[in-house]
Amino acid sequence: MVVVVQRDACVGAGQCTLVAPDVFDQDDDGIVLLLEPEVEGALLEAANKAARLCPARAIAVSAQ
Amino acid sequence: MTTSSTEIENAMSNTAGCPFHARSLPSDGTPLAPSPRFAEWREQGAFVPLDFQDGHEGLVATRYDAVVSVLQDPRFSMLPARMPVGPATLDEPKSEGAAAAVPLELPGDLDEAAQASELLNLLTLDGAEHSKLRRAVTARFTVRQARSREPWIRDMIAGEVARIRGSKDVVDLWHDYAMPISARTHCHVIGIPPQKYEDFVELFVEPSTAQQKYDFIRALLEERRNDPGEDVITDLLNNPELTQIEIEGLLRLLMGAGRDSVAYLIATASVALLTHPEQMELLRSDVEGVRPAVEEFMRAGSMFVTLFARTATEDVEIEGTIIRAGTSVAVSPVAANRDPAHWGENPEQFDVTRDAFGHIGFGYGIHGCIGQQVARVEIREAITALLEGFPDISLVSAEQLEPHPFAHPVAVYEAGEVLVRLTTA
Ligand code: HEM
Ligand code: SF4
C-alpha cells in the first residue's frame, strides 16, 4: 500500500511520528516527512492508525 | 440515532426556562467521574442545546464522531469567543491558566502594542493567519524535540522527588510536585533562564495583570537577544517573518497555556492511580506501561469539559443536524472520551491497559494542542518517578474527588490539593 502526505495541510502535532515512527518523521519545523512511501504488515497498520489520528487529515493510505 | 434540525429547534424552545438548568453544563460530576448528564446528552443526539454566557443559545457536541467532525471543519470559526454557561466558577482561581490565555475583553490599561499582541492569540485565529503563527513555533514541539528533552526532564524530576522526600510526611502532590515540574519544564522549553523561574511563577502561575506579563516578556526578549539557546525564544528572535508584536503575542500565549494543564494531569493521574490500587500495582510492576497509560490518564482525566466554542460561519450539516450560521458549538472532550460508540464496553472505567490513543484530551484539528508531545513526556516521567520513588505512597485526601467548580469562564477543571503520605512509618 502507498502512503501520501500533504505537507501543506500538516499542523505539526506529531501524532504520526508518535504512533508510526518508522513511517513518518517531522522536519525541523515540525512538518511531516514521509520515511516509507510503501508499507505492508505492521507498518501498514501503524500508517493507517496515523492516518486516522492525524488532526489535519494530511495522511492518505491507498492501494496506489 | 440522529436528531433532525426540527427536533433541535423544538428542543431549544421546549427547554426555555428549565428549572434544572438543563441547558447549562452540569455541576454534579467530579473530574474522574463526570456528570451522568453527558451520557444522557449523547443519547439524545449528536448535538443538544446549550446556553452560553452572553445569553446566546448554542449547541454542545458530546459524541466522539460529532466532536471530531466539528473540530476538523474549516466552516467553524474561533470567533466570536463565546463561553457556555457552567456551574459556579471559583471566586479566585488558584492559578493562571486557560482564561489568561484567552482574553475575551482587552484590559483597558494595557499599552497599545500589547493590545495588538493580545489579538494575535492562536486560539482566536482561523485559517492562514492561524497557520502562519502556529508554524512559527511548531519546531520546538515535535516528537523529536520532546525526546531530546527527556534526560533534562528526568533529572529535574529526580530533584523534585528528593525535595519532597526530605520535606515532610504529608505532601500536596499538586502544589509541591506537579506545579514545579510543569513550571520548570515550561521555562526550559520556552527559554526562560533558571534565575527567572521565581518571576515566571509569580506572573504566570499566580494571578497577575496582562501588562505585568508583557513587561516581563519584553525584558526577557532584550536579555535573550544576544544569548541564543535551544528554545522557543531563540527561534522567534531568529525568524525574519515575525513582527515584535507577533513575537510578544505568541510568548504571552505559550507562557500562559498548558502549564496548568500539565500540573492538572499529573495530579489527576496520581489521584486515579491512588484510588485504583490494582492499576497502580500493574504499572509499578512494569513501568514501561506508563507510556501508553498516559493516553488513558488523558482520556479518563480530561481537564476540558468543553473546548473553546466554535461558531458556524455558514449553515453546516453534520450527522443529519443542520447547524445554522452564527450558532456556537461547544465540543466536550470529557463526553467524547467516554462515548461507548467509539470506545466500546466500559468507557467509564479507568483502565491503564486500554489503547486510549485518539482521545480528545488535547483537542483535535488545526488547534490541537501544540505542547502535547512535551506534556506526554512530563506526565510519563512524573508518574514513573512517583511509582518508583514511593512504594508506600497513600492518599490522604483529594479535592478532585468532590464535585468541583470550574476554574475559569472556560469550562475546565482546576486541580486542587492532593494530599498524600509518602511513607507508612
Ligand atoms: C496535559 C497538558 C495539556 C493539555 C490537557 C492541553 C490541552 C489543550 C487543548 C484541549 C487545546 C485545544 C483547545 C481548543 O481547541 O479549543 C490546546 C491548545 C493549545 N495548547 Fe495545550 N494542553 C496541554 C499542554 C500544553 C503545553 C505544555 C503547552 C505549551 C508549551 C500547550 C500549548 C497550547 C497552545 C499554544 C494551544 C493552542 C494551539 C492552537 O490554537 O493552534 N499546551 N491544549
Ligand atoms: S499527524 Fe498529521 S498534522 Fe500531525 S504531524 Fe503528522 S501529518 Fe502533520
pLDDT at B71: 95
> Could you tell which of A32, A48, A53 is best to mutate to test the pocket of ligand 2, judged by most ligand atoms within 8 Å of the CB?
A32
Q: B5-421, what's its fold?
A: Cytochrome p450 (1.10.630)
Helix or strand (DSSP H, E) at B295: helix B290-300
pLDDT at B99: 44
In this structure, the number of other CB atoms found within 10 A of the CB of residue A55 comes to 21
**3-class DSSP assignment, residue B128:** helix
Ligand 2 centre to CA of A16 (Å) is: 6
Under 8 Å between Cβ of B331 and B67 = yes
Grid-cell match 443529519, residue found: B320
Closest by Cα among A8, A18, A17, A21 to A56:
A8
% of residues, chain B, pLDDT over 70: 88
- Which pLDDT band, with edges at 50, 70 and 90, does B398 fall under? very high
What's the pLDDT tens digit per position in B70-112?
999 999 999 887 878 776 665 555 555 444 445 456 776 789 8
Residue contact B141–A30, C-beta within 8 A: yes
Q: Identify residue B361 by its one-letter amino acid code.
A: G
pLDDT at B34 over 50: yes
All three cell numbers of B221, joined, read 526578549
pLDDT at B233: 98
pLDDT at B423 over 90: no
pLDDT at B13: 39
Nearest CA to ligand 2 atom 6: A16
B160 vs B333: CA distance, rounded Å: 31
pLDDT at A48 over 80: yes
pLDDT at B323 over 60: yes
Structural domain boundaries enclosing A56: 2-62
pLDDT at B28: 84
pLDDT at B1 over 80: no
- Which pLDDT band, with edges at 50, 70 and 90, does B408 fall under? low
Closest by Cα among B28, B29, B25, B34 to B300:
B34
pLDDT at B120: 85
CATH of the domain at A9: 3.30.70.20
Strands A2-5 and A59-62: antiparallel
pLDDT at B362: 95
**3-class DSSP assignment, residue A59:** strand
pLDDT at B279 over 90: yes
| B14-37 mean pLDDT | 70
What's the pLDDT tens digit per position in A9-20?
888 888 999 999
pLDDT at B7 over 60: no
Tell me if B309 CB under 6 Å of ligand 1. no
pLDDT at B88: 63
Is the CB of residue A52 less than 8 Å away from at least one CB of chain B?
yes
Smallest CA–CA separation between B336 and chain A, in Å?
15
pLDDT at B235 over 70: yes
| B31-45 mean pLDDT | 93
Strand ranges in B133-211 using DSSP code E only, listed in sequence order: 170-172
Smallest CA–CA separation between B34 and chain A, in Å?
25
**Number of domain units in chain A:** 1
| Minimum mean pLDDT range among B111-125, B168-182, B341-355 | B111-125
pLDDT at B295: 97
pLDDT at B220 over 90: yes
- Which pLDDT band, with edges at 50, 70 and 90, does A63 fall under? confident
Domains of chain B, by residue range, sit at 5-421
- Which pLDDT band, with edges at 50, 70 and 90, does B412 fall under? confident
What ipTM was estimated for this complex? 0.77
Is the CB of residue A1 less than 8 Å away from at least one CB of chain B?
no
Residue contact A56–B144, C-beta within 8 A: no
pLDDT at B3 over 70: no
Smallest CA–CA separation between B93 and chain A, in Å?
29
Average pLDDT value over all residues in chain B: 88
| Minimum mean pLDDT range among A36-40, B255-259, B286-290, B400-404 | B400-404
Under 8 Å between Cβ of B76 and B310 = yes
| B333-351 mean pLDDT | 96
pLDDT at B100: 43
Contacts of B58 (CB under 8 A, 6+ apart): B49, B50, B51, B52, B82, B84, B309, B327, B328, B329, B330
| B127-152 mean pLDDT | 93
Residues of B in contact with A56 (CB under 8 A): 72, 365-366
**3-class DSSP assignment, residue A41:** helix
Ligand 2 centre to CA of B375 (Å) is: 17
* Residue of B138, B143, B368 lying closest to A55 (CB–CB): B368
